Amino acid sequence: MAATSVAGATPRRRRRLSLLTRRDKLFLGLALGIPAFAHIFLVWIPTLASVALSFTSWNGIGGIENIEFVGIQNYQNLPSYPPFWPALTHNLIWLAVFLFIATPIGIFFAVLLDKDIRGTRFYQSALYLPVVLSLAIIGFIWELMYAPERGFINNVLGTTEQGNLIDWLGNRNINLWAVLVAASWRHIGYIMILYLAGLKSVDPALKEAAAIDGASERQAFFRVVFPVLRPINIVVLVITIIESLRAFDIVYVINRGLNGLELLSVLITNNIVGEASRIGFGSAIAVVLLVISLGPILLYLSRAMRNEPT
């Protein structure tokens, strides 16, 4: 910012820049170069390689000479690939449920817990506990809950007999929702703790001022606290989107992402790992997921960059 004061004096400014010592330049070079190298090597090259592989056919055996270029054939096969459309739909449902149900509930819990109600530590721990568990473990836990004859839920409901059995994880009409309950169970705790941390940082004077001005609790939250927490809101939004798009473990544990639990991430894995992989085809699905992810990422970046100089 100081540069603006000498904006007219170009020669002098140049000389000032050159005042950087050799060590400074070396330091700057390394400080920028290492992350840039890691980023290009670990993010951009694999991404571009995936895109390149999506135009090929390769069973994963042998070297590069066995990779056969097939043009857009993989993409042409995608729409007729039976699990593709279900997987895409399920990813979008997953995103919608997280965005409009799980995340608001998490925020709601955070607001409640911020009130220092009695036993707030206990509730915090209880709600946060699932976040400590990996989604794979959560898959196991809920598999036991939902099991047809031996499961907790069916035994409580008394629906373990042939004829009235509820097949929570096998019935395609309900299993995605059953799994979403399990995934939300974890997601709510995650969002709750993030938001609670944000709420703790809000200056209490703001809320007091709002109360003195006659705002109700609801108005104080939506008109004052929520806008103040804008940075946290963006983090929560981004995390929600990432969590929805990368959902994988829980369905993979339950039934390897089959029978109504198809997700793009599972299709990618099922095509790429395994005995005879279809690496090209799997990469094509990965590219579709990449394009979907780019939407929210670009949206976020453009907003974040535009509001940078504040």
Partner 1 sequence: MAELDQVRSVSRRTVLKGLAGTAGLVTVPAIIAACGPGAATTAPSAAAPTTGGESAAPSAAGELTFGSNYSDETPKNAMQAVVDAFTAESGVAVKVNTVDHGTFQDQISSYLQGTPDDTFTWFAGFRMKFFAGQGLATDISDVWANVGSNYSEAFKTASTGDDGKQYFIPFYNYPWVVIYRKSVFTEKGYTIPTTIAEFTALGDKMKTDGLVPMAFGDSDGWPAMGTFDIINMRINGYDYHVGLMAGTEKWSDARTKAVFEQWRTLIPYLQEGALGRTWQDAAQSLLNNDAGMYFLGTFAGEQATDPAVHDDLDFFPFPVFGTQYDSELGIDAPIDGFMVSKAPANPEAAKAFMTFLSTGAAQNIFLESSPNNVAAANDADPSAYTPFQQKMAEIIGNSQKIAQFLDRDTRPDFAGPNGMQGFLQTFLNDPDQDLDAYLGTIQSFWDSLG
Beta bridge partners of 69: 56
Helices 120-132 and 175-200 meet at what angle, rounded to 10? 130
Positions touching partner 1 (CB under 8 A) are 57, 59-62, 77, 80-83, 146-150, 162-163, 165-172, 175, 254-260, 262, 267, 270-271, 273-278
272 near 100, Cβ under 8 Å? Answer: no
Identity of the residue, 32 or 258, whose beta carbon is nearer to partner 1 in the bound complex: 258
Of 116, 304, 127, 110, the residue nearest 221 (C-alpha): 110
CA distance 188 to 197: 14
Closest separation in Å from C-beta 275 to partner 1: 4
**Based on CB atoms, which residue is closest to partner 1, 94 or 142?**
142
50 versus 175: smaller Cβ distance to partner 1: 175
Give least dist CB 68 to partner 1, A: 10
The least CB distance from residue 34 to partner 1, in Å, is 30
Exposure letters 215-242 (e unless 16+ CB within 10 A, then b) = beeeebbeebbeebbeebbebbeebbbe
Distance of CA 35 to the CA centre of its chain: 23
CB nearer to partner 1: pick between 243 and 262: 262
Residues with Cβ within 8 Å of 187's Cβ and at least 6 positions away in sequence, in order, are: 98, 102, 103, 106, 240, 243
CB of 282 to partner 1, least distance (A): 10
Q: Cβ of residue 90: shortest distance to partner 1, in angstroms?
A: 13
Q: For residues 189 and 280, which CB has a smaller minimum distance to partner 1 in the complex?
A: 280
